Structure 1
């Protein structure tokens, strides 16, 4: 990938007004970029937080206004041109222009693709075209499904990842009957360890959520165009009032692919967030990047922020490379899960348990600490984050010993 550069104040267009796109624009101004910046989003709302969509916003505890990263005045103050309800249809790399849905053309010096991701959806053969089926990806999605949440109604959640579990927790809190099905042998199969999955399975069952693992969904059927029943591959049938689907996401790579950029499990970028075109960068859910000798793509707020800032530093020629520090969180009922690192490839785990609902699970490969899941344990999370970022691996025996102050591990 070329290291060719332009003037550090060259005009920047950012496609995608989610966390990564917003962060690029904001950081550019913080770094002193004085050229034109345009932020293009296909939703009508100004850039907003997405995690509360399946938590506080769905519960009605957060207003639309509180969801916004910044009020509209911020964009005027920072001279960031916000183009909402607008799609980019085509990238002309030779002329360095993008064509918008209304036919207008905008020139760029640097283009940043922060196109994010979209939910995997049920197809028509699976009953996906029926009314009463919802996904949790945008404010419009959550607004549309909000009237469905009436006590006593039966909701089926398809998918036992974080989105599915968070939606199930909100549904149970609001007095609905909840059934969650997961086709894999256990919930959180792709994103968390067996130990963490067991904790959350028990938590949900204690709140009357009917979790069914190893159950493959077959099709939804309905009446008068609206879903009424869910059929499983084992022949079982559930009567349902509505359905929430959380079966993963697709990175939005179509625009990049059509422009001839390299794609590899997302838009392929180097350590400076550059794509195969030196004047086009990518950040967030849509971008795959080098990490510890592999190429990964992270679907998290933390990555969107850090990678967005790294892309801005590349543009102003102040890049020191993007060094991912994976972290995630999930709120379910009265439990906060905080994760640092990636546990994939661990060969042992040790649990530090303070109480039934306050524990941390530490994952090792050999003697190396890879990741920590902290459940209602913010102090353990903060210590683990510092240890992993410093490349320190405390002995598992010390981690499990409640007489050992975790903070002391930072200095050992």
Structure 2
């Protein structure tokens, strides 16, 4: 997909330097919307070029925006390579040609609608001042009703899922990068790095070398690979004690609704009902042993505790540790107080895990809150996910990797 030499793009280059083949760090700034708990990414789009906010959907299959007035937008034809990549050959326009129709979805509002596949200018800023990478990205032009349920300033959804047309995949193809991106979410300002080649220079070698890696599992749905990210959780521990669970629920290829999925759509981790009951019972027992005082539940949280006797640490309140055991006992995703407890008022912390019901889509859905202040490295070439421990343990935070903070550190 070559960049067109249009008047609008020439104006764009007056503001941004487009460069190819040199090492630089692309960054998509992310802010958390306090009203919806959605993560908003900032990119530049269209002609005239404008900054826009898109809600991050980690496992979303594609990029879509509400149809606007960009003069550089071009409709993709149904028999094109781009249409096949976006639809798997199933465009609604049929074999007779015409515009490529796709289905755009809003998982936050459980909405779907017909959309047109288009290509248009998208710019992602680089950490170097006044520079950006400019590509012509394939995305969907969607009806405006799909914006219902999104944060007020959002104009669409930025899907980061496992396919050829997610924005990180398109950037990698256009600029010759390895298909690999990283995410660092925060309760305030976070980042998505579409190119993870320069992790050491961004996160620092101490953090990047500490990442633990686990395979990203593939799930086939209706004959096609799901764009979602799944990991192989084999067991769950609370305070060092393994929960007695129906292991088939943790198996991605086991019972319906099995497996563990990562999601930024779900604000807090959701567990299948039997797993939720087992975990909350074990957490309460361990909390009593730590002299934590349980209080009345608040909102959608079941297990809540008084903050009066809680010891506060760099990684949040000192509470029973939750561990996800992955491919072996040596590979563990540890969830400490910062990511397991949410402060609901001045006197109360609640266990930030909710009941996902008896027959959920997946038995364990690791929500956005549990991924905050953790570096996540998605290596699509090797199908591996790298994850750090909580950065707060190092007295660091994902918010310090925002472009503004990183630029300040180089001054």
Higher relative contact order (CA 8 A, sep 6+): 2
State the TM bucket, normalised to the shorter chain.
under 0.3
From the two aligned structures, give the one with the greater helix fraction: 1
Relative to the length of structure 1, the TM-score reads: 0.27
